[in-house]
Amino acid sequence: MNEPKKLVLVGNGMAGVRTIEHVLKLSPGAYEMTVFGAEPYPNYNRIMLSKVLAGGTDMKEIIINDLDWYESNGIQLYKGDAAVRIDTDNRKVISESGVEASYDALIIATGSNPFILPIPGARKEGVIGFRDIHDCNKMIEAAKSYKKAAVIGGGLLGLEAARGLLNLGMDVTVVHLGKHLMDRQLDAPASEMLRRELEEQGMNFLMEKQTAAIIGRRRAEGLEFADGSRLEADLVVMAVGILPNVELAKSAGLQVNRGIIVDDYLQTSAPGVYAVGECAEHRGIAYGLVAPLYEQGAVLAKRLAGVDTDGYAGSVTSTKLKVSGVDVFSAGMFNDAEGTRSLRYQDDIDGVYKKIVLKDDRLIGAVLFGDTSDGASLFSLIKSGESVAGREKELLLGYQTGQSSLSPLARLESCSEDEIICGCNGVTKGRIVEAIADGNHTVGKIKGCTKASASCGGCRPEVEGLLQLYGGDMAGEPVKEGICGCTSLSRDEIVSSIKELRLLSVKETMNVLGWSEPEGCSKCRPALNYYLGMLWPAEYADEKESRFTNERYHANIQKDGTYSVVPRVYGGVTSPADLKKIAAVAEKYNVPMVKFTGGQRLDLLGVKKEDLPKIWEELDMPSGHAYGKTLRTVKTCVGSTFCRFGTQDSIGMGIELEKAFERLNTPAKVKLAVSGCPRNCAEATIKDLGVVAIDGGWEIYVGGNGGVKVRAADLLCTVKTEEEVMEWTGAYLQYYRETANWNERTSVWLERVGLDAIKAALEKQEDRQALVSRIEETLSRTTDPWKEIIENPELRKNFMPLAEAGAGAGETLGGRRS
């Protein structure tokens, strides 16, 4: 058996590691492999950096090959140890730490560096490129202290950076030298549609602006433009392009132009030395998209494995991506030029734009905005070069001559085998079909063996379609149920997308996330309204039309169409003055019944809807929120104030809790109780959160329920002081708010996530304090809803008798019966 040859890879990025993945499959054991990486991480997906910056993904989730993969394949990885010298005469690579590695074959995959404008102030503190995880981390840290960001560059990278900074709470302005955003991928009409969409999401734009200098002393304080105008900014992100990283190759004497010059087999000017990826220049072109780089890697891997292969002939590029929730596709030569013809379709209402460009009866380019379903079939025609004479309009509108509109499955079936389905990982239709034939009959299994859909997930519908086409009865992906029939997305997927894309309204969320029912339903609309308010307490305006009747009128509707009114009675403790007010109002408005509730309050039953504003105005008491998904009551016993068994002041503790957390919106109703001793007269151990006094401290119980499904609460912790009770309660309620499903009581939530997981989340004081700060932010922006109605005559009109004449029992949503 021949001794394995030595293969060294310089650069631990996507293109280089993909090449050695192919080598391992084509010729296992043929090479002893060594990899040098400048970053202290295993191979990760650089395409997903914008998601890390946006906060919806962490570093672990974008790792493509973890450390176990290197070890299991016998690869020696030197991470955080960049190669600094190549000795082509002695065939050796020397690293920064002094490691020397001999090679029979060397692959240079050093990628590219962000282009930093050569202007005054470009090296100031607060000026960052956007190229790797280190840049992401610097921006995330900067956003904690600074609030005004300028992103120089309106291309894809710049918009991704701007989107992430918006999600971090910064005021973001994109500065672009050209007239149109993403001018390398979109023509002018599509670019303008994108700009309008992004402006609605909160981005600001300065177009046709040339940055002349970055102003400030040590740290950036703004930009100065060539026309003399200025923009304030304490964080500046350069996203104006990339430069192939050729310094190492240049110092080794390799032939270099803009990139490292390679032939059709990716061979450089030095024997045994190859280059792939963004650092390589082939036939005068250095590619920056993933698919061409993977095509290069496939050719080089076959060459290294001794497999016959045609050389790399260059790539016709296409881009299919989602920019801030908007689908975009472009391919080929999409701008008009001499000798070309073009056809366009534009729908500003639905946000759809399509354009195809033809030359000599052949399709040479296309742009799709908003609806990219025809992208794969158009790209196949661009690459094949076949005549499309007579089919031009049908191609634009998604039709074939003499046939009805092609379904998504028919489009997939018509694609060629070499069509790229997963652009992030360069996976072709043929590779996926081959994986299905090998017995991989779920999306998860296909992802595992081909990496299709493993990155941004945008190609998942196509992968599912291929499974349906070629898996037959064996295809077995379970049907995914969402929060309602309007969507297949789960609660976690929706919340993650709202955070990542910074969605700020119910309508926008439904539109961007592809709701099947544009107006939603009685399940999803209140849920989205809650999630948006929970995530963006400072920016989101509560949508009253997405609440049930009870919550919109701040009273419980009864079976005869009247309402019940429950004013807030803190801890069940009232006063003669408040009792007189309640009695006077009940008498004046002929309230049929005044009843003590189980939560130690008074309920005025049988109130007419038109009397609700006047009753609340004359009561001049906060609402008890007996109707809402919020804190209802804090039940107390008399505790040590009067009871001979009481060990602590349960009344005072209960009132403090109720005043702290009243008006707090929660996924479902929440009830609290405080008992002054273990005799538990306030029934604290069947509440969502119960506090029981013991000698020298307090026990906090959670997840109880005294309703249809009775559940005894679990002991969360034992604390000594009232301050600790408040801290643990606030942290627990906020953690519930952030992780529970809509309409999920704490008892059900606790059983789903587990008491141990909740304890772990609240174990560290710094984590509890972070949760408390978020709940305090929310509470600082809430007021009693009746104040707004009492003070606004227009809102009072909603309570006139004709507004909902004949309303009967049951809840309605937005005026419709649920």
In this predicted structure, the answer to whether residue 812 has a pLDDT above a threshold of 90 is no
In this predicted structure, the answer to whether residue 525 has a pLDDT above a threshold of 60 is yes
Q: Which two tokens stand for residue 686?
A: 């069947």
Question: Mind listing the pLDDT tens digit for each residue in 628-665?
Answer: 788 989 999 988 888 888 889 999 999 999 999 988 88
Asked which of 149-163, 217-231, 324-338, 357-371 is least confident by mean pLDDT, the reply is 324-338
Q: Which two tokens stand for residue 260?
A: 């490292």
For residue 701, the model assigns a pLDDT of: 96
In this predicted structure, the answer to whether residue 488 has a pLDDT above a threshold of 70 is yes
For residue 399, the model assigns a pLDDT of: 43
Q: pLDDT grade, residue 553 (50/70/90)?
A: low
Mean predicted confidence (pLDDT) in 684-707: 92
* 5, 24, 577, 648 from 304: Cα distances, Å: 10, 10, 90, 78
Greatest C-alpha distance within the chain = 103
In this predicted structure, the answer to whether residue 757 has a pLDDT above a threshold of 80 is yes
For residue 45, the model assigns a pLDDT of: 86
Please tell me whether residue 501 adopts helix, strand or coil conformation: helix
Q: Which residue do the tokens 């024997």 mark? A: 271
For residue 813, the model assigns a pLDDT of: 43
Asked which of 169-178, 409-418, 460-469 is least confident by mean pLDDT, the reply is 409-418
Mean predicted confidence (pLDDT) in 92-106: 97
Q: Which phi and psi angles does 649 have, rounded to 5°?
A: -80, 85
Asked which of 53-57, 130-134, 621-625 is least confident by mean pLDDT, the reply is 53-57
Greater model confidence, 560 or 295: 295
Asked which of 451-465, 492-506, 768-782 is least confident by mean pLDDT, the reply is 451-465
Asked which of 274-278, 518-522, 760-764, 775-779 is least confident by mean pLDDT, the reply is 518-522
In this predicted structure, the answer to whether residue 591 has a pLDDT above a threshold of 70 is yes
Alpha-carbon distance 396 to 355, whole Å? 7
- The candidate with the shortest Cα–Cα distance to 420, out of 405, 432, 409, is 432
In this predicted structure, the answer to whether residue 803 has a pLDDT above a threshold of 60 is no
- The candidate with the shortest Cα–Cα distance to 735, out of 693, 712, 702, 710, is 702
Note if the pTM is more than 0.75. no
Mean predicted confidence (pLDDT) in 285-309: 91
Task: Tell whether 521 is in a known binding site.
Answer: no
Q: Which two tokens stand for residue 655?
A: 């009132």
Sheet of strand 127-129, all strands in order from the earlier edge strand to the far edge: 127-129, 235-238, 148-152, 171-176, 204-207
For residue 457, the model assigns a pLDDT of: 63
> Which contiguous run of DSSP H or E holds residue 606?
strand 602-607
Task: Tell whether 681 is in a known binding site.
Answer: yes
In this predicted structure, the answer to whether residue 693 has a pLDDT above a threshold of 80 is yes
In this predicted structure, the answer to whether residue 478 has a pLDDT above a threshold of 60 is no
In this predicted structure, the answer to whether residue 807 has a pLDDT above a threshold of 60 is no
For residue 743, the model assigns a pLDDT of: 84
Please tell me whether residue 325 adopts helix, strand or coil conformation: coil
Q: Judging by beta carbons within 10 Å of its beta carbon (0-12, 13-18, 19+), is residue 809 exposed, middle or buried? A: exposed
Give one DSSP letter per residue of 647-696, joined into a string.
Answer: -S-HHHHHHHHHHHHTT-B-SS-EEEEEESSTT-TT-GGGSSEEEEEETT
Q: Strands 5-10 and 31-37: what pairing? A: parallel
Question: Mind listing the pLDDT tens digit for each residue in 705-742?
Answer: 987 678 999 999 999 999 999 999 999 999 999 999 98
For residue 480, the model assigns a pLDDT of: 55
Greater model confidence, 623 or 111: 111
Mean predicted confidence (pLDDT) in 156-160: 88
Q: pLDDT grade, residue 154 (50/70/90)?
A: very high
Task: Tell whether 643 is in a known binding site.
Answer: yes
In this predicted structure, the answer to whether residue 476 has a pLDDT above a threshold of 70 is no
Task: Tell whether 637 is in a known binding site.
Answer: yes
For residue 815, the model assigns a pLDDT of: 35
Domains of the chain: 5-112+244-305 (3.50.50.60), 116-240 (3.50.50.60), 491-546 (no CATH), 552-779 (3.30.413.10)
In the chain, % of residues over pLDDT 90: 47
For residue 612, the model assigns a pLDDT of: 81
In this predicted structure, the answer to whether residue 806 has a pLDDT above a threshold of 60 is no
